[in-house]
Chain A
Amino acid sequence: MKKKRILKLSSQKDSHSISFNAMASPCEVIVQTQNKRLAEQVAQCVSHEVWRIEDKYSRYDSQSICSQINNNAGNKVAIDEETFLLLNFAEQCYQLSDGLFDISSGVLRKVWSFDSLSGECQHFPSASDVNKLLNFVGWNRVSYDQQSINLPQNMELDFGGIGKEYAVDRCILLAKQITNEPILVNLGGDLAVTGPRLNNQAWQVAIEHPDSDVLGQRQDMIVALNQGALATSGDARRYLIKEGIRYGHVLNATTGWPIINAPRSITTVAPQCIQAGILATLALLQGEHAEQFLTEQDITFWARR
């Protein structure tokens, strides 16, 4: 079941970049050093951490703790401290969003299937289909403590909403232990830096416009990042149309229905990637008030509508 894991290291003028695949995304690490050995060391460390987190929390991997929890729904499953901390974080997000953000909402995918090629939702589910599944959504019904978690039967957890951003932050932490050289970790668009580049220069990050493929022209937006992290939520390619209304892909965990009038994607800046990711997601969940939500919170963001 495990894919082949390959690391590619290439060197530029004053930096080395490492690329690999993880969490269904292209990943990239840039170390601003000419020291190849150091770059390799960082590459090893970072890629192993990302793959470790993927193995541990992927719901597609039957060996993962996530699958163990899901497959044993209705029973107690032992968890370690890291899992406990992640669950705690998910709990906070659930509370902060009044239940809109819910790592147990993944089962809703069963009715909201989006075509992998066109991105369109092929059939619009009935209210009763949605309500049936909604019975199996609800983080508040999950009990857990430092040692174990008890997921009610038929419920599923999905760490997809926080796993990748968490991995970015972990990588930054580990990389900082290895070297003081400037490093950027980019896991499929969620990224963070250890600090500014040499000579205090900012990292230049281009955000690809969601419509670029459709229109066939590039409208990249370039962001200068000195410190912290960037994360994006939303997907312009996945949507559904009914009665002329375009619904986004993000589902409201309390109703089981997509959020309408939300921006197609939101990119936010925060000290840590997981914060940026949650803020972007929470904003999307506010629908038409997404920008207002972020403005109120005094958060730097870029929204695409």
Chain B
Amino acid sequence: MNKLNKTSKKTNKKSNIKAALSLATSALLGTGVLSAGVAQATEADEWQFDSAFLIYSEVDRVSATEAIIAGTKTFANDEILSLKLTIDALTGASANGAVAQPNAQTFTRPSGNGQYVTPAGETPLDDTFHDTRVQLNAQWTQPLADNITGSVGGHFSKEYDYLSLGVNGNLAYDFNKKNTTVSMGLSYFQDTFTPEGGIPKPHSSMLVGDSSSPEWDAEFAKTRIGDSDDKSTADILVGITQVINRRMITAFNYSYSMVDGYLTDPFKVVSVLNNEGLAQDYIYESRPDSRVKQSTFMQAKYNFDDSLLNTVADVSYRYMWDDWGINSHTIDTRFTIPVGATSYIEPHIRFYQQSEADFYQPYIIDDQAPIGFVSADYRIGEMTAITIGAKYGVVLNGGNELSFRLEYYRQTPTNAGFTDPNALNGQDIYPVVEAIIAQVSYSF
């Protein structure tokens, strides 16, 4: 008798069987589906474009403008071609790694042509940065078999002093009624850096003096070890995506990244201070020639019902660690809140915290001779960062979407336990970096 009871106890499907049946019926009878909405699901054979223009502007430092246009075409048999063109331009000043001093400081430009002076009490910034970059990406995605999707892509990026070439491949397998997707991807980048002024010799002192003297060029060349250097990056990414229910989807990724080659920043120096804390010298930084990064990433998206305005919440967390001793936590949260039928507002909060690399030092004290790797680049030092912003999007009459995004980004480098010598008292060794991100996007 148990057999009989089993079915009657079975909980009912709350799902929309009615809608599913009308789909099945229209397939059987060759008639149109009565309810709209469902019929829109497949729009094939059209180019879909996304474009965006972004300004990133740091207070007193770098500003960048970036434009993207991306086109996607879906072919009848579910093949997808995506092409993307990115152009960006960078101008302004960037921290050169040296610390602020009670006196003015003179630095030689990375090219070796000319010098600049940082006033007393200010963070040394190299204001010669300006570069334009063009990037092209192409990606081809297609079903390979039932439930298996393959994708291959290429990457090309060129700027004045940098060339990057990349390829990637990805396989995704859907199962459990496509509620679960496992994927694995590989990517490989080969980059060549040809900085103006060449590659500085690690630990060598920055040459400061009369750049118009006849010996200058020969002396400067002694601090150089070549014109260019290479870097390769190989990434493995495995991921699983799981639909939880009608309102929720989650993703979990693990990635392993091996970077080999020239990982040093040729424009960065480290201040060498005497025991009082006064700068005696600036040496070019030196980083290991390999780095293995690993990260786990998890994301959940939830579509609330009308009691919460049909908001879509997107929460993700990333933990990254590497063999340089850096680990970081990133929490990224967005809420897409519909406003009326055709627009939405999307608040965004991102929190980031990283520990410093083992070889990070804000400066070197003279009598502790640098023996190993050293960098004073605050970007591999201990810091926290926060991004707060919002996006407003509106769907226009033709179905095209126009959106605006405005965000505030604030980096707060922190002291990882270094005790500053006296001369640095009152100096801002860990200056805050603030930036505004403004973006306009248009999809058509």
A: which residues have CB within 8 A of B? 85-86, 88-89, 92-93, 96, 98, 100, 127, 166, 169-170, 173, 247, 252, 254-262, 270-272, 274-275, 278-279, 282, 285-289, 292-293, 296-299
* Chain B residues in 8 Å Cβ range of A96: 13, 17, 20-21
* Chain B residues in 8 Å Cβ range of A169: 25, 29
Could you tell me the distance in whole angstroms from the C-beta of B201 to the nearest C-beta in chain A?
Answer: 68
Beyond A98-B13, A288-B8, A289-B8, 14 additional contacts (C-beta under 8 Å) are A86-B28, A88-B24, A89-B28, A92-B20, A256-B3, A260-B4, A262-B8, A279-B18, A279-B21, A286-B7, A286-B12, A287-B10, A297-B18, A299-B18
Q: Which of A271, A287, A289 contacts B22 (CB 8 A)?
A: A271
Q: Which of A127, A256, A275 contacts B25 (CB 8 A)?
A: A275
Could you tell me the distance in whole angstroms from the C-beta of B202 to the nearest C-beta in chain A?
Answer: 64
* Chain A residues in 8 Å Cβ range of B18: 270, 275, 279, 297-299
Query: In this assembly, does B213 line the interface, its C-beta being within 8 Å of a C-beta of chain A?
Result: no
Could you tell me the distance in whole angstroms from the C-beta of A241 to the nearest C-beta in chain B?
Answer: 13
Alpha-carbon distance between A299 and B19 when the two chains are bound, in angstroms:
11
**A–B complex contacts, Cβ < 8 Å, 26 sampled:** A85-B28, A89-B24, A89-B25, A89-B27, A89-B28, A92-B21, A92-B24, A96-B13, A96-B17, A98-B10, A127-B3, A166-B28, A254-B7, A257-B3, A257-B4, A260-B5, A274-B25, A274-B29, A275-B18, A275-B25, A287-B7, A289-B8, A289-B10, A296-B12, A296-B14, A297-B18
Query: In this assembly, does B368 line the interface, its C-beta being within 8 Å of a C-beta of chain A?
Result: no
Alpha-carbon distance between A85 and B24 when the two chains are bound, in angstroms:
9
Alpha-carbon distance between A255 and B29 when the two chains are bound, in angstroms:
31
Could you tell me the distance in whole angstroms from the C-beta of A132 to the nearest C-beta in chain B?
Answer: 15
Could you tell me the distance in whole angstroms from the C-beta of A65 to the nearest C-beta in chain B?
Answer: 16
* Chain B residues in 8 Å Cβ range of A256: 3
- CB pair A88–B12 under 8 Å, yes or no, is no
Query: In this assembly, does B6 line the interface, its C-beta being within 8 Å of a C-beta of chain A?
Result: yes
Across chains A and B, the number of contacting residue pairs, with CB separation under 8 Å, is 91
Could you tell me the distance in whole angstroms from the C-beta of A83 to the nearest C-beta in chain B?
Answer: 11
- Dominant secondary structure of chain B at its interface with chain A: helix
Chain A residue at minimum C-beta to C-beta distance from B31:
A173
* Chain A residues in 8 Å Cβ range of B4: 247, 255, 257-260
- Interface residue tally of chain B, by bracket? 20 to 34
Chain A residue at minimum C-beta to C-beta distance from B23:
A92
- CB pair A278–B21 under 8 Å, yes or no, is yes
Query: In this assembly, does B34 line the interface, its C-beta being within 8 Å of a C-beta of chain A?
Result: yes
Alpha-carbon distance between A170 and B28 when the two chains are bound, in angstroms:
10
Alpha-carbon distance between A259 and B3 when the two chains are bound, in angstroms:
9
- CB pair B25–A272 under 8 Å, yes or no, is yes
Chain A residue at minimum C-beta to C-beta distance from B33:
A271
Alpha-carbon distance between A123 and B18 when the two chains are bound, in angstroms:
37
User: 9 shortest A-B CB distances, which residue pairs?
Assistant: A287-B8, A92-B24, A89-B28, A255-B3, A293-B12, A275-B21, A257-B3, A272-B25, A252-B7
Alpha-carbon distance between A289 and B5 when the two chains are bound, in angstroms:
12
Alpha-carbon distance between A17 and B318 when the two chains are bound, in angstroms:
72
Chain A residue at minimum C-beta to C-beta distance from B5:
A260
Could you tell me the distance in whole angstroms from the C-beta of B7 to the nearest C-beta in chain A?
Answer: 5
- CB pair B22–A275 under 8 Å, yes or no, is yes
Query: In this assembly, does B16 line the interface, its C-beta being within 8 Å of a C-beta of chain A?
Result: yes
- CB pair A255–B6 under 8 Å, yes or no, is yes
Chain B residue at minimum C-beta to C-beta distance from A278:
B21
Q: Which of A85, A93, A127, A285 contacts B7 (CB 8 A)?
A: A285
Chain B residue at minimum C-beta to C-beta distance from A172:
B29
